[in-house]
């Protein structure tokens, strides 16, 4: 039995340049409640354009040319995201769908403390909260992502890259969204920190029950964390299956080529033909 959270149907995006570029082509994707869906593919395959388009974050010359995006809210309401006006969409983002943007750990304001930047989320989206409640919520968030409440007075340059990324995850988690979209959240982090971040994302998902769309070109990483994986190529989803099936029985030639592009630690050496 399925419990859909987000339904994307026949979704297309074109970059209106000369000549026009079709960045996303008739994509169909359904995100189930509580699952982690990996979105994989080489650079330029349309992964980020799809994620931005679903949330109406695209800027010209990108144009959504077709399709629908329906959010199946926990309240039981079905919300057509393309029918919301700009203010309704602004309130919807972060509250029900949040996003950790690519390179987000470098997007923190360098002259504002971590605590004040997290506090701003509540000031904007929860205007009824008292200052005391906001301070307590910020401390709780920093403890949840294992940065520590004492870091609320720290500035971004005083934190490591991994800790800054944890702060961005805390910001995305602040309003307890039902879906978190993560665009290359572990890029530029070393392997050990990547593993810590992945472990924490999985723990938070189990604890709070939100769904995750995890975007990366690193297919082995997705095999470790995802329930299902969608493979994108030239704007299309060419394969969508359980992570185990993607690993053991990939159906599309492009999926097999992605898997073979990563070296294995065991087995016979391959021969590279040039």
- pLDDT in the model for residue 267: 55
Percent pLDDT > 90 in the chain is 80
pTM of the model: 0.91
Beta carbons of 110 and 155 less than 8 angstroms apart: yes
Q: Which helix (H) or strand (E) holds 198?
A: helix 191-208
pLDDT at residue number 171: 95
Q: Confidence band (pLDDT; 50, 70, 90) for 264?
A: low
**Residues 230, 51: contact at Cβ < 8 Å?**
no
Q: Say how far apart CA 267 and CA 231 lie, in whole Å.
A: 25
pLDDT, tens digit, 9 for 90 and up, residues 166-198: 999 999 999 999 999 999 888 778 888 888 888
Ranges of each domain in the chain:
106-176
Between the CA of residue 60 and those of 8, 49, 82, what are the distances in Å?
21, 12, 17
Residues in contact with 110: Cβ distance below 8 Å, sequence separation at least 6, in sequence order: 155, 156, 157
Q: 229 and 243 in contact (C-beta within 8 Å)?
A: yes
């Amino acid at each position: 039995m399925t419990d859909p959270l987000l339904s994307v149907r026949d979704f297309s995006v074109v970059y209106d340049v000369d000549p026009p570029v079709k960045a996303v082509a008739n994509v169909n994707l359904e995100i189930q409640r509580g699952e982690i869906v990996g979105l994989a593919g080489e650079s330029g395959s349309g992964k980020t354009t799809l994620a931005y388009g679903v949330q109406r974050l695209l800027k010209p010359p990108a144009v959504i040319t077709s399709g629908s995006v329906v959010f199946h809210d926990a309240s039981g309401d079905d919300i057509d995201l393309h029918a919301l006006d700009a203010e309704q969409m602004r309130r919807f983002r972060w509250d029900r769908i949040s996003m950790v943007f690519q390179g987000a750990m470098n997007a923190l304001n360098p002259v504002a403390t971590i605590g004040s930047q997290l506090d701003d989320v509540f000031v904007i989206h929860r205007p009824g909260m008292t200052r005391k409640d906001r301070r307590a919520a910020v401390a709780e968030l920093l403890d949840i992502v294992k940065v520590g409440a004492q870091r609320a007075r720290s500035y971004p340059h005083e934190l490591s890259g991994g800790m800054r990324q944890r702060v961005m995850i805390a910001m995305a988690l602040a309003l307890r969204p039902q879906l978190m979209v993560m665009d290359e959240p572990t890029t530029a982090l070393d392997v050990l920190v990547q593993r810590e971040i992945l472990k924490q994302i999985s723990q938070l998902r189990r604890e709070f029950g939100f769904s995750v769309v995890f975007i990366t070109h690193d297919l082995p990483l997705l095999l470790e964390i995802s329930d299902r994986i969608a493979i994108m190529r030239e704007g299309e989803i060419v394969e969508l299956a359980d992570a185990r099936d993607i690993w053991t029985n990939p159906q599309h030639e492009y999926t097999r080529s992605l898997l073979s592009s990563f070296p294995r630690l065991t087995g016979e050496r391959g021969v590279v033909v040039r």
